[in-house]
A and B are shown apart, each in its own frame.
Chain A
Amino acid sequence: MTEPVLSLRGLTRDFGPFRAVDSVSLDIRRGSITGLIGPNGAGKTTLFNMVAGTLKPTSGSVSLNGQNITGLPSEALFSRGLARTFQIPRPFRRMSVLDNVLLAPPAQVGETVVGALFRRGRVAAEEARLRDKARAILDFMTLGKLADQPAGKISGGQMKLLELARALMGDPAVILLDEPAAGVNPSLTRTLIERIEELNRQGTTFVIIEHDMDFVMRHCDPVVALAEGRIVFQGTADEARVNPLLLDAYLGAPT
């Protein structure tokens, strides 16, 4: 078996006396679409935030491709191949959709003061290359026609597609998606799922928090369930479907 792309060891986070995530150890299989489920307050987003560097763990460690990334700030992770989207989309509203995407690639020549002022030739060449890539990605995400729109003017569902498009500009190995289907109309959800599965076929690993059980059972493997900050189940979707604990605690009555 290949080395896990993400490896969490004893990850714990306290908020004052409250332990939101309690010693979670988890290996994310390379090339998987891992679904993370659990009731509200189970610690899913806290766990995400610790992996994505927006929250420092109280204890425990995270490694990405075998490299220890525990406690690194979120801006250090994108270039290492870890990207994320947000539960409530965070587009750069007063920037065009294209600019939103062009922003993302790390270490651009024109991103420093000196580069922007004095290396115009190299910046222009780089921009041309990135623009082609950005256009292709926007087309792939069905946002091509919106490229010149302000990102604040597109629909909530399109914003979720845009966040994924931005992430793709960094050629990430792992993408963390926080409730990608929440509040998105069925047709855009279908687009989103198709794109996720296509990217997954090409080798991108996904970790997805999702409340839509139908989504998780159909598209995620394995499924990991959290409750009160601990992992209470880990297995395939089929196993999850018949697990009495999950049926009781989270899924409700069998359908």
Chain B
Amino acid sequence: MIGMISYLAFFATMAGILAIVVLGLNLQWGYTGLFNGGVVAFFGAGAYGTMLLGGRPELGQFGGYEWPFVFALAGGVVLAALIAWIVGMLTLRLRHDYLAIATFGVAVAFESVTRNAEWLTGGAKGLRGFPRPLEAAIGNNFAYGLFFLGMVLVVLGAVYWGLQRLVHSPYGRALRAIREDETAARSLGKNPARLRLQSFVIGSAIMGVAGGLYVAFYAFVSPQDLAPILTFQVWAMLIVGGAGNNRGAVLGAFLIWGAWTASGFALSKFAPQAMQLYTGSIQYILIGTVIVGMLLWRPQGLLPERIVTRFTKTAAKAGPTSKGAI
């Protein structure tokens, strides 16, 4: 029983962390139309940044300042935001597929740095040892797992709440206008360059938050964690859940992470001996199939964007009833 709950808590913690990443991507893609193909870079910046500032010192290794978790996490988020700002300044004039290619390149470059800059990132073996927040105080592993899950859910809730406020406001309206038609938005006085950059940086900072939680959860990070597959998983989550809908983003994260975990479990259990080596690749194929299938048959996702939002609907009721011309 305890083992089952413990496992579910573990599962939900990972799903919650990924849901935060998906929410960040939803701000960028769902609301602003920015095709970020390098999600892992910003997740990774948050993870490595948090680890360097909050991790335990190692001989001959940069970082390991053992900052309190909250400050280390803040540092990781700032790093993610900073990288996003630089990348954004350089690339946000690119549209759609070009932006996707550029950001994908950034992610590959970032992974390459973590793999090779050993003095900074520990190279391929990664960085290990992170004093997890309140772990000593709680002691018991089972209780700590639940505590950590609670913490992730609180952060997820806060990010969700903040984003809902942001997108269901005149600000969100301006972002969506940029997404729909930049030229028209400009003719109405909106500044696409500023809005796109802000959305990109805020979304990436949110991915950085998730990275910081991830590194605290595992007390370990290595280039393995920044494989491109994570970007595709996150995209699958957003597409399945529904781009332009924050509830859809969270739902998609839990669904896809569930399907990923279940398929991994099923493959390891039922795939023939000779196939066992390739189960990872089969999972990759499954993720790709889900993305393609969704885009073909239900591109709006399970919970589609609502054109008439709650925000405007309550608004509509308050306004005078409309009947033809004046």
Contact = CB atoms under 8 A, between A and B. Distances in A.
- Chains A and B come from one and the same complex: yes
B145 interface: no
Q: How large is the interface on A (under 10, 10 to 19, 20 to 34, 35 or more residues)?
A: 35 or more
A166 B312 contact: no
Contacts of A234: none
Interface stretch (A137-145, A182-190, A246-254): A137-145
A226 interface: no
Given A92-B180, A113-B198, A103 B316 contact: no
Interface string A98-128: 1100111010111111011100100100111
B118 interface: no
Contact of A147 (B192, B305, B322): B322
Summarize B's interface: helix, strand, loop or mixed: helix
Contacts of B308: 96, 148
Contacts of A109: 170
B191 interface: yes
Most buried by A among B166, B189, B305, B323: B189
A127 B186 CA distance: 21
A104 B174 CA distance: 9
Given A94-B305, A94-B307, A116-B172, A74 B325 contact: no
Interface in B169-185: 169-174, 176-177, 179-181, 183-185
Interface stretch (A24-32, A77-85, A211-219): A77-85
Most buried by B among A74, A108, A126, A141: A74
Nearest to B315: A131
A116 B165 contact: yes
B325 A139 contact: yes
B188 interface: yes
B95 to A, nearest CB: 16
A79 B173 CA distance: 18
A111 B170 contact: yes
A156 interface: no
B174 to A, nearest CB: 6
B173 A102 contact: yes
Given A75-B189, A108-B170, A142-B324, A99 B312 contact: yes
Contacts of B325: 139-142
Given A112-B171, A116-B171, A117-B166, A128 B318 contact: yes
B140 interface: no
B60 interface: no
Given A139-B322, A148-B316, A110 B169 contact: yes
B175 to A, nearest CB: 10
Contacts of B272: none
B185 to A, nearest CB: 8
Interface in B144-198: 162, 165-166, 169-174, 176-177, 179-181, 183-192, 198
Interface of A: 52, 54, 73-79, 83-84, 86, 90-96, 98-99, 102-104, 106, 108-113, 115-117, 120, 123, 126-128, 131-132, 135-136, 138-142, 144-145, 147-148, 150, 166-167, 170
27 contacts: A74-B187, A75-B187, A75-B190, A90-B181, A90-B187, A94-B180, A95-B307, A96-B312, A99-B176, A103-B174, A104-B188, A104-B189, A109-B170, A110-B169, A111-B171, A115-B171, A116-B170, A120-B165, A127-B170, A131-B315, A135-B319, A139-B325, A140-B326, A144-B322, A144-B323, A170-B188, A170-B189
Given A116-B172, A120-B165, 11 more contacts: A52-B187, A75-B190, A78-B189, A92-B181, A95-B176, A95-B307, A96-B308, A131-B316, A140-B326, A145-B322, A145-B323
